[in-house]
Chains A and B, each alone.
Chain A
Amino acid sequence: MGLEIAFWILAVVAITAALAVVSLRNIFRAALCLILCFLSIAGIFVVLSADFLAAVQVLINVGAIAILIILAIMLTREVERGSLPNKLQFPVIASTVLFLCIAVFAVIRTPWQVSDLPPVEPTTAELANKLFGEGGFILPVEISAVLLLATIIGAIVLMREK
């Protein structure tokens, strides 16, 4: 029961915040709403008993990415009336709604083979095993490390003043 209440509240907050992100004119407030959206997604993770992921979501998305975005906003101008739609606004709305309808239709009509097993708790050790253990995802981990290194170098190269 508690989980359901939590889900509905978090879902409403997440959708409202996401709508605010794409509709607010003030970019700074949009970024704040993005933070709210991220926090709700972290809450949804908790509802899905992925507590480690929730903490990581807060740490990376809220603590780092959102703040990076805000810093980037500060470095540009026209913050207060910066978010304007382009010419494609109405076609995009139409196609997005169409996409949403198809996706919802697909979700509802698909017969999901839901398992009845209880979720693994706590997830931390299990995740570690999955990532680093035998038959796990060690190669993607290494690749993502290379990706991050490339990101760091790329960002430095892009931002360096000549």
Chain B
Amino acid sequence: MTLGLEHFLILSSVLFAIGLYGALSKRSAVIILMSIEIMLGAVSIAMVAFSRYIVPAMLTGQVFTIFIIVVAAAEATVGLAIIIAIYRRRETIDITKIDLMKW
């Protein structure tokens, strides 16, 4: 059985689903951030796979992946900054306890 586009797309879906589960069902903000990173990674796999199998000469998917990595980095930076800022005020990173809009 040779490797096809489906393999990569299914792997991507599984990783995305795991990330989705983590992002929705966890209390810790850091774990949620990590789950989002997994989801972004899954999307990157899908992008690169599309690029490799559908338009191998154009690399458009890889360019998209580069932007995804850029956005992931930005998201992680700001997200962590927010988490630490909240932790400094509230002494917790449990998002179920961070439910006030203003304090």
Please say whether the chains A and B touch (CB closer than 8 A): yes
Chain B residues, Cβ within 8 Å of A49 = 52
Chain A residues, Cβ within 8 Å of B76 = 65, 68-69
Interface string of B58-102 (1 = CB under 8 A from A): 111011011101111110111011111101000101111000000
- The answer to whether B63 touches A93 (Cβ under 8 A) is no
Q: Please, how many angstroms separate the alpha-carbon atoms of A127 and B26 in the complex? A: 38
- The answer to whether B15 touches A69 (Cβ under 8 A) is no
Closest-by-CB residue of B relative to A90 is: B25
State which residues 10-37 of B face A: CB under 8 Å. 10-11, 13-22, 24-28, 30-31, 33-35, 37
- The answer to whether B5 touches A34 (Cβ under 8 A) is no
Q: Please, how many angstroms separate the alpha-carbon atoms of A124 and B63 in the complex? A: 11
- The answer to whether B63 touches A131 (Cβ under 8 A) is yes
- The answer to whether A82 touches B52 (Cβ under 8 A) is no
The reply to whether the CB of A9 lies closer than 8 angstroms to some CB of chain B is no
Q: Please, how many angstroms separate the alpha-carbon atoms of A93 and B44 in the complex? A: 23
Interface of chain A, main secondary structure:
helix
Contact pick for A60, options B22, B73, B93, B94, CB 8 Å: B73
Chain A residues, Cβ within 8 Å of B18 = 15, 18-19, 21-22, 96
- The answer to whether B30 touches A69 (Cβ under 8 A) is yes
Chain A residues, Cβ within 8 Å of B38 = 18, 21, 34, 37
Closest-by-CB residue of B relative to A1 is: B2
B→A interface (CB under 8 Å): 1-11, 13-22, 24-28, 30-31, 33-35, 37-38, 41, 44-45, 48-49, 51-60, 62-63, 65-67, 69-74, 76-78, 80-85, 87, 91, 93-96
